[in-house]
Structure 1
Amino acid sequence: MLTLRNFTQSRCCYLIPRIGANYLSHSTFADTSENKASYFHKISNRPIKYQNIGQILKEASIKYCNREALVSCSENSKITFSETLDKVDRLASGLLNLGLSRGDCVAIWASNYEFWYISSLAIARAGLICVSLNPAYQIPELDYCLKKVNVKVIIAAESFRKQKHYEMLSTLLPNLKHSKGGVIENKENSVRHVIIHSDKKLPGVISFNEILSSSSENDVIEVEKIQSKISPDSACNIQFSSGTTGQPKAAAISHLSMINNGYDLGIRQAMHQNYRRICLNNPFFHAYGLVIAMMNALNHGSTLVLPAPHFDPKQSLMAIKKEKCDVIYGTPTMFVDLVTAQRELNLDLPDVAIATTGGAICTPKLVQDIEKVLKAKKIVSIYGLSETTAGVFMSLPNDDNKNVQTFVGHVMDHLETKVVDSEGNAVRFGEPGELYVRGYSTMLRYWDDQLKTKEIMGDDKLKTGDQFILYENGYGKIVGRLKEMIIRGGENLYPREIEDFLNSHPDIIETHVIGIPDERLGEEVAAFIRVKDNSTHVTQNDIKEFCSGKLAHFKVPRFVIIVDEFPRTVSGKHLHS
């Protein structure tokens, strides 16, 4: 068994500049003067992979050559691992031919399509940084994100549900429709090119298929040559994670973090021992879809099956049956909907080896339903956050299914965890406190935000903001949230962002947003509002109309309650119940 010190020196010396010298000292993080202090380090004899995503893709294309990498049911398309590499390299060279330089940011604004999968891998193979954007973003949210990280190129679908992405981009980029040669004259932000996946000829944009077919064989060869120059320690992905300050923060994640977190998550599900076909219900633009699913499948040669561009339980069930999926990924809310749909359709589903859930604890009833209705043998729980790449805790292979009713899993390999009190001192095992995490998977930084980076990553540890209980055997559970986060159907929402927006309403003085229990979604958004004039009547429909086109639909409060005043502490802060 390797100790922390000799493991770090023999296998992870490359991490020292980033993580700092304190990582080499067990006591600086653990500080366990008592044997029962809640600190757990999951040491592994499996070395960390020091590779970039492009290198992992190349290995997969050779090892799993003709195996299906991706099946997109809505597009009626299937691509093998070798075909994936070919498309990825052609797109990567096309992006570089636009004049992009290593480290430039390319945003993907779309839901689950084959082109999302290809684009994210191409961005990595080109040494660029993928910026994952929620397709439900409205123009103000999109504008902020593009400016925050200086996005140079946007790859988007023409539309998302009722949203017309091309028209929204035309509003945000006034010269888009008048640009020539796909080059946008734009003084508002750093965007220079828009690539749209569409069969239509849209003015000002570059067709996705056009850029895919524009590369020569020599261009593709050049992409392979640069792989050795792309550092595994460099940023490859930016995940936007909202915060209590109201504005989204951009968590920069490295190649090394994504590869190894995905690899270890697959090991926990025995993906390395069995060929699996995964029904992916989660979106690619979340860490769940990108790391837990895509990086896992890439490492272990699993097939990802996309039932539909966005979650549709009936489409998912039909995809599971048709494509013989033996693994299902989703949030508890998604599994509730899958169970409900299966009771209605009563399809002859294949036996499901694994049902993997994250985002919230499963109720005992949901566990029974997943076992009986969806015929899942194994139920796996994951806990993590964008700032830790994806997983921090996950069920062990031999865990009983009932464990997911209480625990979020066991500490992942190579990670250190500690639970502390309000003064930063480790509490005893079994006592609640804030969870700290340290290891390869913590983010590099918040992009262009040194202050927030320092706040969350002081002394080389990452403060999760979650109230947590850690047990001596390495299992953990969430007991509350120190940060005012609402988890609605797997979406992390932060009250301050919604409050700041609602307070811009001409009739509203102040707002207090909370999460309230909901059987299906876990939590729903409720807004307590104080208006300027007591005679003013503000309804939920008024708020919905005010938010339309400015706030993503899942952030719009379902409940609106008018109050005369808010109870406050002597310091003037809202008094939380």
Structure 2
Amino acid sequence: RRGLSQLSYFHKPGKQPWLAWTLADVLDKTADAKGDNKAIVSCHQGITKTYTDYRNDINQFAASLMSLNLPVGSMIGIMAPNLYEWGLVQFAAAKAGLVLVNINTAYQAPELEHCLNHTECEAVILSEKFARQDYYQTLLEIAPDLERSAPGELKSPRLPYLRHVILISDSPKPGTVTFDDLMKSATNADHAAMQSISSKLQFDAAVNVQFTSGTTGRPKAALLSHFNMVNNANSIGRMFGLHEEDDSICLNVPLVHCYGCVGGSLAAAMFGATLVMPSPSFKAKAALEAIVEQRCTFIYGTPTMYIDMIKEQQEGKYDVSSVRKGIMSGAPCPQEVVKKAMTTLNMQQFQILYGCTETSPVITCSERAESTEQWIETVGKPTDHVEVKIVDSQGRIVPVNQSGELCARGYLVFKGYLKQDDKTREVVCDNWYHTGDEATMSEDGRITIRGRIKDMIIRGGENIYPQEIENLIYTHSDVLEVQVVGVPDSRLGEEVCAWIILKPGKSLSEGDVKGFCKGKISYFKIPRYVLFAESFPKTVSGKIQKHKLRDESKKILNL
């Protein structure tokens, strides 16, 4: 709602009241109402659980955590890919009054050490191995004393807070207890203690720590409350239509990321949907096989995931007739990719989300009733109970259709960065969270993201938004993926460099790409340099690491 103002401000009053619930309340209410619904399917583990089964396992593990004697509010970490145990821990830790710390599965020893110490984790749950990493060995690099410790009695100078190491493994390693053994250890007294704690939890208490992507300096620990996460899951779940039918969600995004654990796991639990996990980490073939086997109706993914699924579907021709809808987030959503995803993967409804870790995560979402033309170029309007504004460098709200920084205010804004009040004050002012994204707002409140402010290219005084160039190059029939970055130029300050991944069997030259752009965008936006790659560096959540592409460009071009 804007009123008579033509400034870039919009407020969406909520259709539903705020929920004063904890994560435990969400799970219990759904298990009571829809206990026979399938809650979770881990295809790669061969596990299927109803909501009744899921709650029983969650209660059992939450009770077993009582034996660790962790005070309410203590931090417990989890470093694991998309496993059944991940979702179980998300709700069990909450029921036990603990704060779950999501640890990126790509972290190496120095990053893991920082994460555990910064959050003062007293316990950590580790998948034994994943991909090329052995997490137990990684932990030993930091704390060699673990091999000589009894379970629950680690004393390491480099990890002074950590005591308990719980291993998701068939067999224990020195100094650890297996997940299953701990789960089996819960006594009746443990169950009673857990239920007592769970019944007294405050809905505005902290429940989750998620680390930011850390593209500038060390990752920061964003602290989220039950209230943040529950209401965001409720709001976006309703926008997806999860309250209208029992959906089966193909979850391709990692649970360690906000998109996965709030938009996926928590939103599914809120409405009794089925969460289908095809593989520990994204594999297009596994995703499509899961869609066929589980008759998935809803696909979650990032742009790069959809690109891979489109390619796999074109080659394999899977039966995707059960699919009705999809969502895309995690990175700018190229228009050509959205169009191809809808036609190739049989999606009649497609929505684009925008948000940040610090906003629990979703700020805006395209609405289901909108036509393709209305939403394909935008990230929609604010979700329920959310205000947004767009400001200039002095913090003044700009007129509609003028660029500035996007800010959001409401229940969704995080509690702050753990132990970094100064960093919190840099991004939150008068309860407004400053996203760092350049955006515009239309007269009716739709938001268009132009890119990260720091990614904007300034060439000879002209502001250039990489996403505009990327959207154009994506329309070339031989291009699979494209990223545009700015590189140094002694005369103009910066020049445009395009990185391209070609479709299999296709070839393009730098001249071909420049010729394709000519006449379609302003001359100064046409890439000065065109480089080709087989893959792009990405975070675990699927975001392209543009700073690494920028660094690689400078090396290759000797700039």
TM-score interval for Structure 1 and Structure 2 normalised by the shorter chain: 0.7 to 0.9
Of residues 62, 72, 78 in structure 2, which corresponds to 1:92?
A: 62
Shift in CA distance, 210/409, structure 1 to aligned 2, threshold 3 Å: same
What residue number does 2:317 align with? 346
Shift in CA distance, 201/515, structure 1 to aligned 2, threshold 3 Å: farther
The answer to whether residue 37 in structure 2 is matched with residue 67 in structure 1 is: yes
What residue number does 1:270 align with? 241
Q: CA deviation at 1:187?
A: 2.2
Aligned residues of 1:361 and 1:406 also touching (Cα < 8 A):
no
Shift in CA distance, 554/484, structure 1 to aligned 2, threshold 3 Å: closer
Q: CA deviation at 1:554?
A: 6.9
Counterpart amino acid of residue 300 in structure 1:
F
What residue number does 2:333 align with? 362
Q: Distance in 2 between matches of 1:518 and 1:228?
A: 54
Of residues 426, 430, 438 in structure 1, which corresponds to 2:401?
A: 430
The answer to whether residue 555 in structure 2 is matched with residue 562 in structure 1 is: yes
Once superposed, what is the RMSD of the aligned Cα atoms? 2.9
What residue number does 2:223 align with? 252
1:209-228 equivalence runs, <5 A: 209-228=180-199
Counterpart amino acid of residue 442 in structure 2:
Y
Q: Distance in 2 between matches of 1:111 and 1:564?
A: 37
Kindly provide the CA deviation profile for residues 228-259 of structure 1, in whole angstroms up to 9, marking residues without a partner as x: 32111111111101456511111000001111
Kindly provide the CA deviation profile for residues 476-517 of structure 1, in whole angstroms up to 9, marking residues without a partner as x: 0101212459999xxxx9x9xxxxxxxxxxxxxxxx9x9954
Counterpart amino acid of residue 27 in structure 2:
L
Q: Distance in 2 between matches of 1:93 and 1:148?
A: 26
Q: Distance in 1 between matches of 2:377 and 2:339?
A: 14
Q: Distance in 1 between matches of 2:121 and 2:429?
A: 28
Of residues 277, 288, 296 in structure 2, which corresponds to 1:306?
A: 277
TM-score, normalised to structure 1's length? Answer: 0.80
Kindly provide the CA deviation profile for residues 456-486 of structure 1, in whole angstroms up to 9, marking residues without a partner as x: 1122111111111112312101012124599
TM-score, normalised to structure 2's length? Answer: 0.82
The answer to whether residue 83 in structure 2 is matched with residue 131 in structure 1 is: no
Kindly provide the CA deviation profile for residues 324-382 of structure 1, in whole angstroms up to 9, marking residues without a partner as x: 00000000110110010011111122231111101234333323322221111111100
Shift in CA distance, 554/161, structure 1 to aligned 2, threshold 3 Å: farther
1:139-154 equivalence runs, <5 A: 139-154=109-124
Aligned residues of 2:259 and 2:330 also touching (Cα < 8 A):
no
Q: Distance in 2 between matches of 1:232 and 1:160?
A: 34
What residue number does 2:518 align with? none
Q: Distance in 1 between matches of 2:182 and 2:375?
A: 45
Aligned residues of 1:352 and 1:374 also touching (Cα < 8 A):
yes
Q: Distance in 1 between matches of 2:313 and 2:377?
A: 26
What residue number does 2:9 align with? 39
Aligned residues of 1:393 and 1:409 also touching (Cα < 8 A):
yes
Counterpart amino acid of residue 342 in structure 1:
Q
1:87-486 equivalence runs, <5 A: 87-189=57-159, 190-243=161-214, 245-484=216-455
Q: Distance in 2 between matches of 1:51 and 1:362?
A: 33
Kindly provide the CA deviation profile for residues 4-62 of structure 1, in whole angstroms up to 9, marking residues without a partner as x: xxxxxxxxxxxxxxxxxxxxxxxxxx9x9x71111101012410000111111111111
- Unaligned ranges ≥5, structure 1: 4-29, 496-511, 522-543, 545-551, 567-577
Matched position secondary structure for 1:562:
helix
Name the count of aligned residue pairs.
488
Q: Distance in 2 between matches of 1:294 and 1:237?
A: 14
- Unaligned ranges ≥5, structure 2: 457-465, 471-482, 486-493, 504-535, 537-542
Q: Distance in 2 between matches of 1:150 and 1:515?
A: 42
Shift in CA distance, 85/95, structure 1 to aligned 2, threshold 3 Å: same
Q: Once the two structures are aligned, what percentage of the paired residues are identical?
A: 33
What residue number does 2:489 align with? none
Q: CA deviation at 1:201?
A: 2.8
Shift in CA distance, 564/300, structure 1 to aligned 2, threshold 3 Å: closer
Shift in CA distance, 203/520, structure 1 to aligned 2, threshold 3 Å: farther
Kindly provide the CA deviation profile for residues 254-289 of structure 1, in whole angstroms up to 9, marking residues without a partner as x: 001111101111100111011100000000000000
Q: Distance in 2 between matches of 1:82 and 1:183?
A: 35
